[in-house]
Amino acid sequence: VAAVTERAHAAGLDAADPLAGFRDEFVLCERIYMDGNSLGRLPRRVEERVAALVQEWGERLVTGWHEWIELPARLGDLLAREIVGAQPGEVLVCDSVTVNLYKLAAAALDRRPGVIVTAVDEFPTDRYVLQGLGEVRLLDPDPAADDVAAACAPGDVALVCLSHVNYRSGALADLAGITEAAHDAGALMLWDVCHSAGVVPIDLSGVDLAVGCTYKYLNAGPGAPAFLYMREGLQLELRSPIQGWFGQREQFAMGPAYDPEPGIVRFLAGTPPIVALAAVEPAVELVAEAGVAALREKSVALTAYAIELHDAWLAPLGFELGTPRDAARRGSHVSLRHPEGWRICRALIERADVIPDFRAPDSVRFGLPPLYTRFVDVWDAFDRLRRLVEDEVYLELDPAPGRVT
């Protein structure tokens, strides 16, 4: 049996991987891609669907809208069933995560004014949007249910908003426990599932509100439309602050007064981008074919393997694991902290053909989407990383931080 630090060990894990065949569904490239948690790879079937949709536009012209108009709700139902554990009529695919978070949080606060609780290391756009909507109380990173309960103790909290998986550390939150703590305090709970959708089983039953994106582990393309979730029981109570015509009852009657649809559709705003929306369907179907439960199993194995290699090779070189060791407490990316993280990340990209990404102040993130990442990819990436630090190659690069995506 090969030792864990031998490439043969990784190759053995790949040979036993029941999901290995899904890699053939993707357009591949020479470089070792470790940033699928930021932007997923291109599925071949998405390339085909986009081309077909463009042709459909050319041929059907405006009459295509008879089907296109159903896409936000139809894709929402697909996500509800396969990805986020919700009911039909509780999810829409539309707008960006930012705009959806704004719509949901503003609607919640309009109904029940009060303080917003979020975490100090919540994803920036979430923090900024919430700052614009009211008073924000900040939790320390990766809060537990008790922390949320304590923050809600004054009784003035209207909304708790957190990420299911933290974008930087990769920590997986206690969704059920935190939701219960928010509810116990009379607050609504809004989850951002951008970094868990498609790799961690999600059960939104009981959750009030959620937003998520389709361009990370769902592979629908750069800036692909996002999604929003609202439990059925809230839909008649809450109103979108953006009173758009796609949320209007009898939209094409174009009546004088805004009269929103009685269901989730009231949270649509303007005309949806059809070419981008069309890409979401085959992308999500591909994830559904593998199944989130199986993907989670492989994801845990991949991140565990990365942590083993970190411990063996990288910890002695000054790295520190930024991601929880408990598999039940992490998502599908691993963050390695290093004081020279910025230069090391650039050196990996520019000198070693490995693409991770960097998140300030010191985290190099390795995304390990189980749908197309092999164990040998992890071995190769970390082997190159180890050599590059041992050989001090990164010292040849500009130490100044700049824009990294």
Active-site hit among 41, 103, 127, 216: 216
User: Residue 40 or 85: which CB sits closer to its own copies?
Assistant: 40
Nearer to its own copies, 140 or 203 (CB): 140
Q: Which of 33, 167, 215, 227 is catalytic?
A: 215
Question: Which residue in the set 45, 147, 156, 251 belongs to the binding site for its own copies (CB under 8 A)?
Answer: 251
- Contact letters for its own copies, residues 208-227 (x by CB under 8 A): -----x-x-----xxxxxx-
Give me the 32-51 binding string for its own copies, x by CB under 8 A, dash otherwise: -x-x--xx-xx---xx--xx
CB of 209 to its own copies, least distance (A): 17
Q: Which of residues 294-333 bind its own copies (CB under 8 A)?
A: none
Residues 337-376 that bind its own copies (CB under 8 A): 349, 355, 357, 359-360
Residue 261 interacting with its own copies (CB under 8 A): no
Tell me the residue type at 172: L
Among residues 35, 126, 174, 192, the one annotated as catalytic is 192
What x-and-dash track marks residues 126-145 binding its own copies by CB under 8 A?
-xxx-xx-------------
Quickly tell me which residue has 């369907």 as its tokens: 281
* Residue 26 appears among annotated catalytic residues: no
Question: What tokens does 205 get?
Answer: 């039953």
Q: List C-alpha distances in Å: 49 to 194, 278, 296.
A: 23, 7, 27
52 binds its own copies (CB under 8 A): no
Which of 38, 179 has the CB closer to its own copies? Answer: 38
Counting contacts by CB under 8 A, is residue 24 touching its own copies? no
CB of 98 to its own copies, least distance (A): 3
Q: Which residues contact 226 (CB under 8 A, 6 or more apart)?
A: 93, 94, 95, 96, 97, 99, 100, 211, 212, 213, 214
Taking CB under 8 A as the binding criterion, the range among 8-16, 66-74, 153-161, 386-394 that sits at the site for its own copies is 66-74
Q: In what order do the strands lie in the sheet containing 209-212?
A: 91-93, 227-230, 209-212, 188-192, 157-163, 115-119, 136-139
CB-nearer residue toward its own copies: 69 or 234:
69
215 belongs to the catalytic site: yes
Which one of 6-14, 56-64, 144-152, 317-325 is the stretch in contact with its own copies (CB under 8 A)?
A: 56-64
Judged by CB under 8 A, the stretch of 170-178, 251-259, 318-326, 336-344 that binds its own copies is 251-259
| Binding residues for its own copies restricted to 79-98, rule: CB under 8 A | 95-98
Active site residue 398: no
CB atoms within 10 A of CB 158: 23
- What residues are annotated to the active site? 123, 192, 215-216, 365
